[in-house]
Structure 1
Amino acid sequence: MGTCDGVNIYDGTKAYSWNGWGQLNLSGYIIEEILETHDGVIWVQTNYGLSKVDKEKRLVVDYPQFKGSYMMVKNELGNLFFFSSSNLLYAFNEKKQEFYRLPIGTLDREDIVNLYVNEHYLIIFLKNEIIYYQMKHSPEGEYTLSTINTSEKTEVRYGFGDKNQVYWLDKDYNLLKFRK
């Protein structure tokens, strides 16, 4: 679990501080978000950057250039996508072990309610609309985006997806769905 003192592990009876296999090297101590993408691979967003924790290799890799990232999501293949504090969308290429930027135009992170990514679509839930991008996954491990397809001009309180279904709560808290 993420705390303001780092990562703590709860074993069912008590919590204890995780020290990174004797060498605490997360990018910071204030944990903002934790997301597991592949078996044994955990991404930890801290106040000073993003850290990739590989439990099997017992390795922690820091990405301090992503200090203050805003939102992390994964698709069903376990690929990581995140929206940075500089209003840019990034994805992690597992084959190359590096980040690359996805061109989504100019969005203000304050307008983003949520992101949803599956194998074929990137869906950005904004306060006043839902934006769809079709995605293609290359053999080299990178995604490319098609042109923008705006679906709904609607007020969005919250949005999420499950496989090919997209759901959102409108301004009156009605649950709506769209099949992509």
Structure 2
Amino acid sequence: MGQVGQHDKQAEQREVGQEREIEMLLAALADAGRDLGPKLAHRLRETLVPLSQQVRAELLTVVDDAFEVALDVDDARRHAGHLLGDSAAVEAAKAVWPAYPAPPPIEALAAASSDVEPPWMTYVARHCELVPDDWCYLLHRLTGRPEVEADKLARQYVEAWAAAAYAEPQAHRRANAGRRAANAMLRGVTM
């Protein structure tokens, strides 16, 4: 193996170790009773990747504190999400942690709240960690159905996702387990 190949292999090993560390940190929050939910967990993963090990731990301590003082889980998730995306909160965090990353552009976050987006899609997006293919699949399967039926199927989709994700013991596999179960449930529904 040449020098370039060795360098690529080392970079890949660092990346795998980094992902494993992030999953362990998120699992520690879950073990402490912090129900992040799929959306916040996804945002945390994206935020934590470019950070140093120390800054990751400090940020997760702040998220843990948000859950400690919140009135309920939804309030804690909102507050933690605010810490990850609010420009004033980010600037305050950067004062303490210079390596703290800038929040993603507003356009990236706006996909979940469009005026033309059906209410059932907003509901699913709020409860599930959707990727672009999920959006397409859901639109294909539920658009054109009566609104009551689409709403009912969206709720069943979220329930199937949550049940499968909860049953998956490995944190890094939960979103995919939820996605597979929810999509299988929808496939079983006749068009």
TM-score in terms of structure 1 length: 0.26
Bigger share in strand: 1
TM-score in terms of structure 2 length: 0.25
Which structure's relative contact order is higher, taking Cα pairs within 8 Å and 6+ residues apart? 2
Bigger share in helix: 2
